[in-house]
Amino acid sequence: MSDGARIDRFLEMMAAERGASRNTLAAYARDLTQAAELMKATLGDAGLEDLRGLMASYRGLAASSAARKLSALRQFYAFLVDEGDRADNPTLDIARPSTRRPLPRILSHNHVDALFAAAEEEASGEHPPRAAVRMLLMLELLYGSGLRASELVSLPRRSVQASGEFVMIRGKGDKDRLVPLSQRSRRVMDRWLPHIASDSAWLFPSGKSHLSRIRLYQLLRELAARAGVDPMAVSPHVLRHAFATHLLEGGADLRALQMMLGHADIATTEIYTHVDSARLVELVNKRHPLAHMDAVRGR
């Protein structure tokens, strides 16, 4: 069987059995097709030395890119083993390129306060501009609920639950999750809904579709400039990071945060614990039984 046919079968399995998204399937297809082109032997029949030579050709790539390509190969060969096309998975003997997940950029509480102060002032009054109310609601949802930019702009109008306490999000991998709305967000939502048609498909309509991610970035950075915050330090993703970090600082449970952010792996959520080190040290010093023993002994 040709490599192309094997790759097609693998992609069909990933789509049907694992529900892989279109973007994930496209990435697997690119990585495996490229590997087949670089490999001297047939990809499906390659041995350990063939694959070591292939990974050596990836040395010029970022470690994260090489690791992604190895992950695609591992899953591909695991599929071939399951299908009985080969007896072993040679990638299991290849070390994963070491990667270091970059720490997220976050905004300070003062910067967040400045953004909200500017947005709330612009949306105040008896008849505030429609765009100002929209901007305030988008800010509330980005920082108050931790939505991704793509999730925010593509929110259907019907995603807002009847109770007003949750919003239904279609996230990565087309997975749905319920995200709680703060009381602040619900109040601004009530102010925004009269500005859009009752039969609108989108919560943030624009032209024949919804607001674009690029326009969202532009609006946020324009707001940051008016608020006296460096526009280059502000983006939807930075506000999502701030939501997670500040929630952890307030004592949020990591599992609950994982659900709200829509992370498939809690290891992705754990990156936010880096900013909480000071609170953890204080917790040990004040709450650990040994701290109470010291207090009793008068130390």
Please state, in angstroms and rounded to a whole number, the distance separating the CA atoms of residues 207 and 278: 47
Active-site entry in 157, 172, 184, 187: 172
Active-site entry in 28, 58, 77, 272: 272
pTM for this structure?
0.59
Predicted local distance difference test score (pLDDT) of residue 240: 86
Taking the CA of residue 58 as centre, how many other CA atoms within 13 Å lie in the half-sphere pointing to its CB?
A: 21
Predicted local distance difference test score (pLDDT) of residue 290: 61
pLDDT band at 289; cut points 50, 70, 90: low
User: Are residues 62 and 22 in contact, defined by beta-carbon separation less than 8 angstroms?
Assistant: no
What would the pLDDT profile of 84-96 be if each residue is shown by its tens digit? 999 999 998 888 7
Average pLDDT over every residue of 227-236: 92
Average pLDDT over every residue of 204-228: 94
User: Are residues 15 and 25 in contact, defined by beta-carbon separation less than 8 angstroms?
Assistant: yes
CA nearest neighbour of 97 among 154, 45, 58: 58
Residue 172: active-site member: yes
Q: What is the DSSP letter of 225?
A: H
pLDDT band at 191; cut points 50, 70, 90: very high
Per-residue b/e over 236-264, b at no fewer than 16 CB within 10 Å?
bebbbbbbbbbbbeeeeeeeebbebbbbe
Q: Mean pLDDT for the chain?
A: 84
Residue 161 vs residue 294, higher pLDDT: 161
288: pLDDT strictly greater than 70:
no
Q: How far is CA 112 from CA 4, 239, 253, 272, in A?
A: 51, 8, 22, 17
Q: Which helix (H) or strand (E) holds 245?
A: helix 236-249
What would the pLDDT profile of 112-160 be if each residue is shown by its tens digit? 999 999 999 999 999 999 999 999 999 999 998 888 888 899 999 888 7
Predicted local distance difference test score (pLDDT) of residue 6: 93
CA nearest neighbour of 151 among 135, 134, 120, 174: 174
Please state, in angstroms and rounded to a whole number, the distance separating the CA atoms of residues 165 and 185: 9
Beta carbons within 10 angstroms of residue 17's beta carbon: 9
Residue 263: active-site member: yes
Active-site entry in 184, 221, 237, 279: 237
Alpha helices in 127-235, H assignment, sequence order = 130-145, 149-153, 183-192, 213-227
Active-site entry in 9, 184, 191, 263: 263
Predicted local distance difference test score (pLDDT) of residue 280: 54
285: pLDDT strictly greater than 70:
no
pLDDT band at 259; cut points 50, 70, 90: confident
Please state, in angstroms and rounded to a whole number, the distance separating the CA atoms of residues 137 and 188: 6
3-state helix, strand, coil in the chain (%, to 5): 65, 5, 30
Length of the chain in terms of residues written:
299
Q: CA torsion 140→146→148→153, rounded to 10°?
A: -30
Task: Show the domains of the chain with their CATH numbers.
Answer: 3-93 (1.10.150.130), 109-268 (1.10.443.10)
Active-site entry in 69, 111, 148, 241: 148
Residue 109: active-site member: no
pLDDT band at 219; cut points 50, 70, 90: very high
Residue 237: active-site member: yes
Please state, in angstroms and rounded to a whole number, the distance separating the CA atoms of residues 73 and 35: 9
Residue 272: active-site member: yes
4: pLDDT strictly greater than 70:
yes
Predicted local distance difference test score (pLDDT) of residue 284: 63
Strands (E), 88-139: none
Predicted local distance difference test score (pLDDT) of residue 10: 93
Active-site entry in 134, 240, 241, 246: 240
Predicted local distance difference test score (pLDDT) of residue 63: 82
35: pLDDT strictly greater than 80:
yes
Residue 215: active-site member: no
Average pLDDT over every residue of 3-18: 89
